[in-house]
């Protein structure tokens, strides 16, 4: 019976399809709503969640909840305050003695000791552990032995780190760096429990830290449930029962969920919703400055852009950009026109100076035209602005900047945007020094220090000096600033260095980026810290 055989085949096919569907992967349905749990939007972290391996904001959020380091940045002022550190002492800005406060524990009961820090830092610095943030330990003596630029490491541990007691250890830096202790609030410097080293996979599946929250469950790629850790005795105990971080495929969906009442907190309001956000949320919309600056960098490896009179062309370009108009219309005032190369979150004491860029950052088409002509005109007759088109709605503002330049110069061919498909490819072309002209550069601070806005970006061969700018005077001033024992004097020296950046217009500062967030009526006391991450532990559930 032919027909019957065929029918059997068909039935089989359907059965296979149905079983496949039935073996669906179910995980817990995350209990938001009741007993003080706050639900918040989240993005899938790009790298495995380890303190020294997390360099983007999504993983950073979790680390900020489950870890406390020697220092903690004040959520309002950004000031580095002692947290686990009882004292960090130095006489020469090179040798530091760190004393850890007693009584701190990891949420698995293990005590936080000097060793918890030294082991964690040695792990973070060692080449074989592939930690993306290893360079944070680069100032510590012996770094080049555990993390050589080429070849195999010749040491297992940093020679600059020594445990001298249960709660004390010493750090020897390879150069003078007076504000080094202020960098220690960065997540890469968090302590790690023995469990991390003993069973690494288990730790990654469910990280254990010493912060106000502990990880209750973690379904990778979809949700992490954090609960208040009642054993936490730090000064910043959680004001809510816990946080459910939910991964969203698209921040527009998260926003829709927020206004529909299914989500309590969105910490990244999509650009397309900025027009409606005030009508939708009213006071429950937060728009505060963050330590992020956007600039246009230049390819100094390209002779055309590295001419004697180049500074005039670059300054002219800077003056051809109508920052105010762009931030008002495209960004709905979630960005502030830049007036220097740092960020307002530093405060004037920390080195922010709204007068530093001065006229060079003001829109002045006539002067722009004059300067560019004086400097020999645009290389090749036009600028090509390169950016990645996959995220962050960069296309909108690049087009706007281009139009601004075209209008100012009265030349319809003066500027063209050059989109690159993915961020990875964009970075790839930057690293290979293939930029055909100015390109988008964004900088999110690691720690609120003026040093962090200048040295990694403009120092010769620094880690993020993508345009390969090099200036002896600037380098010397940075060295001088780092050697200053007095923080105020260090800031002043950094500002001198920043003036070199201005005079040469090493990069065009565009705008400071704000953090923008929205929250539901269920919660209150929501704020963003200077890193534009919500201060989760202070959120109250009504």
Interacting residues with other proteins between 394 and 453 (CB under 8 A): 421-431, 441-444
168 near other proteins, judged by CB under 8 A? no
Looking at beta carbons only, is 377 or 442 nearer to other proteins? 442
Please choose, out of 256-264, 308-316, 339-347, 400-408, the segment that lies near other proteins by the rule CB under 8 A.
256-264
Rg over alpha carbons for the chain, rounded to the nearest Å, is 26
Q: Smallest distance from the beta carbon of 10 to other proteins, in angstroms?
A: 5
Nearer to other proteins, 253 or 333 (CB): 253
In whole angstroms, the minimum distance from the beta carbon of 133 to other proteins comes to 9
Q: Does 308 participate in binding other proteins (rule CB under 8 A)?
A: no
Least separation in angstroms between residue 458's CB and other proteins is 13
- Segment near other proteins (CB under 8 A); pick from 72-80, 94-102, 407-415, 462-470: 462-470
Whether residue 415 contacts residue 368, with contact meaning beta carbons closer than 8 Å, is answered with: no
Minimum distance from residue 11 beta carbon to other proteins (Å): 10
| Three-state SS annotation for 414-455 | CEEEEEECCHHHHHHHHHCCCCCCCEEEEEECCCCCHHHHHH
Measured CA to CA, the distance from residue 425 to residue 431 in angstroms comes to 10
| Distance between CA atoms of residues 210 and 61, nearest Å | 15
| CB 113 to other proteins: min, Å | 28
Among 130, 154, 156, 525, binds other proteins (CB under 8 A): 130
Q: How far is the CB of 130 from other proteins (least distance, A)?
A: 5
- Rule CB under 8 A: say whether 150 interacts with other proteins: yes
Burial (CB < 10 A; 0-12, 13-18, 19+), residue 304, is middle
Site for other proteins in 310-369 (CB under 8 A): none
- With binding defined as CB under 8 A, does residue 391 bind other proteins? yes
User: Is 485 a residue that touches other proteins (CB under 8 A)?
Assistant: no
Determine if 506 is a binding residue for other proteins (CB under 8 A).
Answer: no
> 272-301: which residues touch other proteins (CB under 8 A)?
none
Task: Tokens for 44, please give them.
Answer: 């899938």
Site for other proteins in 170-209 (CB under 8 A): 204
What 429-437 contacts at long range (C-beta under 8 Å, 24+ apart), as own/partner pairs, is 429/386, 430/466, 431/466, 433/299, 433/301, 433/468, 435/299, 435/302, 435/386, 435/467, 436/299, 436/302, 436/384, 436/386, 437/298, 437/299, 437/305, 437/379, 437/383, 437/384, 437/385, 437/386
Of 98 and 188, CB closest to other proteins: 188
Nearer to other proteins, 250 or 374 (CB): 250
Closest Cα to residue 451, out of 439, 459, 442? 459
């Amino acid at each position: 019976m032919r027909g019957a055989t065929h029918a059997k085949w068909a039935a089989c096919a359907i059965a296979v399809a149905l079983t496949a569907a039935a073996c669906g992967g179910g995980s817990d349905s995350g209990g938001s709503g009741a007993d003080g749990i706050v639900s918040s939007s989240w993005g899938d972290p790009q790298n495995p969640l380890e303190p020294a391996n997390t360099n983007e904001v999504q993983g950073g959020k979790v680390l900020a909840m489950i870890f406390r380091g020697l220092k903690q940045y004040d959520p309002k002022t950004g000031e580095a305050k002692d947290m686990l550190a009882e004292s960090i002492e130095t006489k020469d800005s090179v040798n530091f003695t760190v004393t850890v406060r007693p009584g701190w524990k990891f949420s698995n009961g293990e005590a936080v000791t000097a060793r918890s820090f030294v082991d964690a830092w040695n792990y973070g610095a060692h080449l074989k552990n592939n930690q993306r943030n290893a360079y944070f330990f680069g100032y510590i003596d012996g770094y080049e032995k555990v993390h050589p630029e080429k070849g195999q490491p010749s040491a297992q541990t940093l020679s600059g780190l020594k445990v001298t007691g249960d709660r004390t250890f010493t750090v020897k830096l390879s150069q003078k760096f007076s504000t080094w202790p202020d960098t220690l609030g960065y997540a890469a410097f968090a302590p790690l429990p023995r469990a991390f080293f003993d069973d690494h996979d288990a730790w990654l599946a469910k990280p254990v830290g010493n912060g106000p929250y502990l990880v209750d469950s973690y379904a990778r790629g979809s949700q992490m449930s954090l609960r208040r850790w009642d054993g936490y005795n730090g000064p910043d105990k959680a004001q809510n029962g816990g946080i459910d971080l939910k991964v969203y495929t698209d921040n527009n969906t998260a926003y829709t969920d927020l206004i529909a009442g299914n989500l309590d907190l969105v910490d990244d309001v999509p650009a397309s919703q900025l027009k409606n956000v005030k009508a939708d949320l009213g006071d429950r919309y937060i728009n505060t400055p963050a330590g992020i600056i956007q600039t246009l960098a230049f390819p100094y490896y390209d002779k055309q852009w590295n001419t004697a009179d180049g500074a005039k062309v670059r300054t002219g370009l800077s003056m051809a950009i109508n920052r105010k108009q762009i931030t008002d219309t495209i960004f709905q005032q979630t960005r502030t026109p830049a007036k220097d190369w740092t960020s307002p979150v530093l405060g004037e004491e920390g080195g922010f100076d709204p007068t530093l860029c001065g006229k060079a950052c003001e829109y002045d088409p006539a002067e722009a035209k004059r300067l560019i002509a004086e400097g020999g005109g645009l290389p090749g007759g036009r600028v090509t602005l390169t950016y990645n088109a996959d995220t962050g709605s960069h296309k909108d503002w690049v087009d706007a900047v281009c139009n601004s330049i075209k209008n100012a110069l009265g030349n319809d061919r003066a500027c063209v945007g050059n989109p690159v498909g993915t961020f990875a490819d964009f970075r790839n072309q930057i690293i290979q020094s293939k930029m055909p002209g100015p390109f988008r550069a964004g900088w999110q601070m690691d720690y609120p220090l003026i040093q962090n806005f200048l040295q990694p970006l403009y120092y010769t061969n620094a880690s993020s000096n993508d345009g390969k700018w090099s200036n002896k005077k600037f380098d010397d001033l940075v060295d001088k600033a780092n050697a200053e024992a007095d923080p105020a004097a260090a800031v002043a020296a950094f500002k001198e260095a920043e003036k070199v950046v201005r005079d040469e217009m090493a990069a065009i500062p565009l705008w400071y980026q704000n953090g923008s967030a929205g929250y539901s009526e269920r919660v209150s006391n929501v704020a963003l810290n200077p890193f534009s991450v919500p201060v989760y532990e202070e959120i109250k559930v009504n």
